[in-house]
Every structure is written in C-alpha cells, then in structure tokens.
C-alpha cells in the first residue's frame, strides 16, 4: 500500500477495534512521555502550551480530537483541523536547534507513539494475540490514520518491519530527556507532588493517592521500552515488573467478557453508531486547541 493512498477503516479493522478502548489509558502515560522525549516535540510543548502549569489540560484537549481522526464521520476534516492547530508551533530550542511541529519527522513521531499505544494495549492488556499478518494490517490502519492529517508522508515507514526498525532507532539514538519529558516523568515517579487526575470522578479524589497515583507510576514507567529506561537511568525494580505483569493479567481476564458498548469509550461508540446509521451521523468533533 502506498503511504499516500487511502485505506478504508471501519468497525472490522484492527484500529477501530482498539484505538477507542478504555484500556488505552493504561498505556497512554508512557506514550506521552515518549512523545515529549522527542527534541522538537518536547520543545514545542514547553514553549507553546501551558504544560508546566497545567499538564493535564493538553491530554484533555488533544486525545478526543486525535481519536476523532479515526472515528468521526468526517475524519479528514478533523485531521486537518488538528494539523492546523500546529502551524504556529515553531522556534529554537534551548540548544539552538530549530524545530517546527509540522516537520513531517516530528509530526510522525507524535503519531507513532499512538500506534505504539494501540499495539501495546493489545499485546499486554487483551487476550487476543495478533498474528504477523494482523500486526501488519494494524500498522497499515495506522498509516491511514496519519494520512488523514494531511501532513507529508515522507517520514512514514513503508511497512511494519521498517516501522519497527525506525522505532528502535528513535529509542536508541534520537530521544532525549527534554524538560517536558522530565516533568512528565516526575509526575509519574512522585505523584504526591502534583495535582490529582482531573478527569476522574470527584468522589475518587480522597483515594487517588493510594490507588490511582501508584497505578499511574506503575503503568507509565513499566510501559516505557526497556532501552529507554536504561538510557536515561529511570528506576524500575523486579518487584515492580511482577506487579505490572499481575495487573496486565487481571485486566485481560476482567475485560474479556465486557461488551463493546462498555469496553469502548464514548468517541468510539459514537463512531460505531454513525457507521451503522450514516443518516444519523453527528457533526465532526468539536474544535479546540490540540497542541
């Protein structure tokens, strides 16, 4: 498949089945750290957003629209809107390097972390084991996801094997401990120092310190590729690895009997309803800054 050719996505595609799964939250924080370790992306977030003052706001603004590029009845409209939010994000980082959010290599890395999250969700938190062919198909679904943003595809690996090679190269050679990534890691390693998770019910606030924040730490640090933990000296103990394996097993077993209507989040469920009855499709996802 050409990197610029369109590909049909629908309820039977692997991306549709999992991109809007609620379990994406269990891999999302580690994916976010990997995003911010990219020099250009980390600089853009640090200099053009309120990340240091309100780190949760970026997640709340961005994720619904990024998922809309998969599930919205007008995905290219949403994708190009997300792209255009980034037109003003450019500058020179603290080391004197120029960066631009719409540099295809930078934009691709942000997208690649979402593809990584979806694949990790399946591999670690779902009972289905992807075959080699299914994994290639999931990757091609992700290429279509990227195409809908309308950004140059020159940085997109042509197939899944090339994607894995490029992913490994980034983890080994490109990623840095940017100030934004250091802030995100500090939130994971020392959750008591930071504000509670804002998108959970208010009644959960007294319990977050003992339940949610340890879970965020476990899934964020444990979800990073081992080479990234080693490169940057991020602590990870054997007992924590065993805790994470136990969590993954518990989630796999508890979710395997869940109906799709509960397993999927509201954006994915709305997309499925629209696909089943196009005449009732809602307008495209609401606008809002996604940087």
Is residue 51's pLDDT more than 80? Answer: no
> Average pLDDT, stretch 33-40?
96
The pLDDT score that the predictor gives to residue 56 is 67
289 vs 252: which has the higher pLDDT? 252
> Average pLDDT, stretch 48-58?
71
Helix axes 179-189, 55-71, angle to 10 degrees: 100
> Average pLDDT, stretch 236-250?
96
The pLDDT score that the predictor gives to residue 277 is 78
> Average pLDDT, stretch 34-47?
94
Cβ proximity of 15 and 268 under 8 Å: no
> Average pLDDT, stretch 142-162?
96
The pLDDT score that the predictor gives to residue 156 is 96
Is residue 153's pLDDT more than 50? Answer: yes
Report the candidate in 123, 149, 147 with the shortest Cα–Cα distance to residue 134.
Answer: 123
The pLDDT score that the predictor gives to residue 291 is 47
Which residues neighbour 291 within 8 Å (Cβ) at sequence distance 6 or greater?
44, 45, 48, 49, 58, 61, 62, 85, 86, 89, 101
Q: Model's pTM, two decimal places?
A: 0.88
Question: Which region among 22-26, 189-193, 248-252 has the lowest average model confidence (pLDDT)?
Answer: 189-193
Task: Pick left, alpha or beta for residue 84 (phi over 0 → left; psi -120 to 50 → alpha; otherwise beta).
Answer: alpha
Q: Where are the domains of the chain?
A: 14-256
132 vs 94: which has the higher pLDDT? 132
Quick: pLDDT tens for 79-128. 999 999 999 999 999 899 999 999 999 999 999 999 999 999 999 999 99
Question: Which region among 93-97, 163-167, 175-179, 249-253 has the lowest average model confidence (pLDDT)?
Answer: 93-97
Give the span between the Cα atoms of 109 and 24, in whole angstroms.
Answer: 18
């Amino acid at each position: 498949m050409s990197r610029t050719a369109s590909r049909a996505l629908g309820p039977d595609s692997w991306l549709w089945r999992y991109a809007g799964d609620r379990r994406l939250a269990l891999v999302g924080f580690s994916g976010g750290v990997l995003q911010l370790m990219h020099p250009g992306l980390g600089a853009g977030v640090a200099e053009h957003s309120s990340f240091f003052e309100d780190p949760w706001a970026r997640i709340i603004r961005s994720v619904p629209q990024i998922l809309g590029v998969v599930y919205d009845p007008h995905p290219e409209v949403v994708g190009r809107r997300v792209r255009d939010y980034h037109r003003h994000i450019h500058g020179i980082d603290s080391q004197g390097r120029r960066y631009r959010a719409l540099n295809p290599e930078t934009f691709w890395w942000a997208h690649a972390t979402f593809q990584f999250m979806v694949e990790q969700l399946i591999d670690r938190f779902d009972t289905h084991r992807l075959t080699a062919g299914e994994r290639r198909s999931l990757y091609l679904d992700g290429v279509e996801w990227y195409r809908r943003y309308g950004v140059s595809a020159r940085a997109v690996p042509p197939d899944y094997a090339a994607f894995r090679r490029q992913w490994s190269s980034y983890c080994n050679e490109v990623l840095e401990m940017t100030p934004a990534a250091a802030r995100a890691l500090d939130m994971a390693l020392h959750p008591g120092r930071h504000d509670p998770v804002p998108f959970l019910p208010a009644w959960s606030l007294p319990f977050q310190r003992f339940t949610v924040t340890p879970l965020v730490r476990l899934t964020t640090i444990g979800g990073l590729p081992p080479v990234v933990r080693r490169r940057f000296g991020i602590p990870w103990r054997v007992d924590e690895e065993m805790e994470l394996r136990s969590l993954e097993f518990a989630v796999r077993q508890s979710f395997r009997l869940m109906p799709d209507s509960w397993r999927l989040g509201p954006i994915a469920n709305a997309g499925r309803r629209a696909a089943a009855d196009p005449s009732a499709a809602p307008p495209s996802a609401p606008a809002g800054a996604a940087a």
